[in-house]
Amino acid sequence: MKAPKTHNILSPEYECMSRDAIRQLQGERLRKVVKREYDNVPIYRERMDAKGIKPEDIKGVEDLRYLPFTNKTDLRDEFPFGLLAAPKSEIVRIQGSSGTTGKPIVSGYTQNDVDVWTEMVARALVAAGGTKEDIVQVCYGYGLFTGGLGAHQGATKIGAMTVPMSSGNTQRQIMMMKELGSTMLCCTPSYATYLGETIRDMGIDPKKELKLKSGCFGAEPWSEEMRGKIEELLDIDACDIYGLTEIAGPGVAFECLEKKGMHINEDHVIPEIIDPVTEEQLPYGTAGELVFTTITKEGMPMLRYRTHDICVINAEPCACGRTTVRMGRITGRTDDMMVIRGVNVFPSQIESVIVSVKGVAPFYMIIVDRVNYTDTLEIQVELDGENFSDTVSDLEKIRNEIAEKIKSVVGISAKITLVNAKSLPRSEGKAKRVIDNRKI
């Protein structure tokens, strides 16, 4: 039961503004946030002074290029409160990244920041067909990670019945989904796939026994092929949602039911695409590193924050009626790119191959090593527990198909190891896909 293709828009006064009006609004808000940063955050003031820039020099969006960049290392170096632009007494929430190594990344939110974030997630749910009549099952983790609370707040904002399941306990998830009649699902795409496979293995017919119509899936990169897999398993519209703690959590950008790119909430953030090496701005339509400047955040605003995500931005109007620019799928990251035998390899490239092959599940592990001073690449791929033949010839055919496609897409050869169904580690949060033994 997929969601009907509607063009419901939560905030048409902002989501449907003319391009000139958007840029004028962004300019007004940019000037205010630059002054706020300069007045309250020593590291920003020092960097702007070093470049000979004062707040009054920033007149509009065209002057963004004069401002210094912010990096994730800045949040670690200034942990926990060095980047606050508001008094601690005004901070009502601390959210953090889901990373497990090194110093955590945390961001302080004022009540206005929480309200803005809530509005952005609500827009995402409405764009995916959500209304107050829906039952939204939230399977992101709750806590410092922004996924659970973000989706919860957004669902509550639109008046939907909200089911705060959090992550884990898959059997219970499915039972509640079935008994409550959940109509929308919010979780990572890898967990949505796992839920779908488990539902299939339990003999549950999603068309007849579930009421799901759509879902918002994010927190990790995923491909069009994985979208197809999720939609097939759960009989829903699977929409992408993008965000990061440093900017505002999930909802910074989102897909509508047209599924032709994620609408960026430009009344709250200004996107740029830069060359990750030269740091020069690139025109829309060119692949490069995504950079965001927050223009309404009070607690810990970010000026020209380098996300390290690689994508393309499209400024063409969408058929849904929204006029905000759209970002394409994340095709890789400048900081998770693997260089293997001199070739740049992104996990997303490998995933796009695997999910296109019949007989295997969309679960895999990339293992990179170095033997006799030469890089090696092994890809472990799970067999589909239902849709494959276990004859030696069929397995060899699958292995060869994956190997040939990897060589064509990535440009290097890889050892393909087929493993039993459900033998690779499952993740209810962000999936771990790469083991690089060269760093050990």
More confident residue, 267 or 141: 267
Q: Is the pLDDT of residue 7 over 60?
A: yes
Task: List pLDDT tens digits, range 330-369.
Answer: 887 777 778 787 777 878 789 889 988 999 988 899 999 9
Whole-number pLDDT of residue 440: 47
Could you tell me the pLDDT band of residue 438, with boundaries at 50, 70 and 90?
confident
Domain limits, the chain? 1-269+296-301+316-330, 338-439
For 244-248, what is the mean pLDDT?
A: 92
Within 13 Å of residue 207, how many CA atoms lie on the same side as its CB? Answer: 4
Question: Do β-strands 332-333 and 305-311 pair in parallel, antiparallel, or remain unpaired?
Answer: antiparallel
Q: What is the pLDDT of residue 429?
A: 57
Percent of the chain having pLDDT more than 70?
Answer: 95
The pLDDT confidence band at residue 425, using thresholds 50, 70 and 90, is confident
Residue 102 has pLDDT above 60, yes or no: no
Q: What percent of the chain has pLDDT over 90?
A: 74
CATH superfamily of the domain spanning 1-269+296-301+316-330 = ANL, N-terminal domain (3.40.50.12780)
Q: Which of 186-190, 376-380, 429-433 has the highest mean pLDDT?
A: 376-380
Give the tens place of pLDDT for each residue, 28-51. 999 999 999 999 999 999 999 999
Bridge partner list, 94: 108
> Which of 4-8, 138-142, 236-240, 339-343 is predicted least confidently?
4-8
| pLDDT (mean) for 15-30 | 98
Does position 409 have pLDDT exceeding 90, yes or no? no
Instruction: State which of 90-104, 221-235, 323-337 shows the largest mean pLDDT.
Output: 221-235
Q: pTM here?
A: 0.82
Report whether pLDDT(12) > 50. yes
The band of 390, judged by pLDDT with boundaries at 50, 70 and 90, is low
Model confidence at 99, in pLDDT bands (50, 70, 90)? very low
Q: What is the pLDDT of residue 101?
A: 43
pLDDT of residue 174: 98
Q: Is the pLDDT of residue 61 over 60?
A: yes
pLDDT at 22: 98
Mean pLDDT of 218-233: 89
Does residue 1 register a pLDDT over 50?
yes
pLDDT at 309 over 60: yes
Token pair recorded at residue 233: 């398993």
The pLDDT, as a whole number, for residue 220 is 80
- As a whole number, the mean pLDDT across the chain is 92
Give the confidence band of 372 by pLDDT, cuts at 50, 70, 90. confident
What is the predicted pLDDT for the residue at 333? Answer: 78
Residues 303-312, mean pLDDT to the nearest whole number? 95
pLDDT for 100: 40
Query: What per-residue confidence (pLDDT) applies to 386?
Result: 66
Domain 338-439: which CATH number of 3.30.70.20, 3.40.720.10, 3.30.300.30, 3.40.50.150: 3.30.300.30
The answer to whether the 1-269+296-301+316-330 and 338-439 domains have the same CATH topology is no
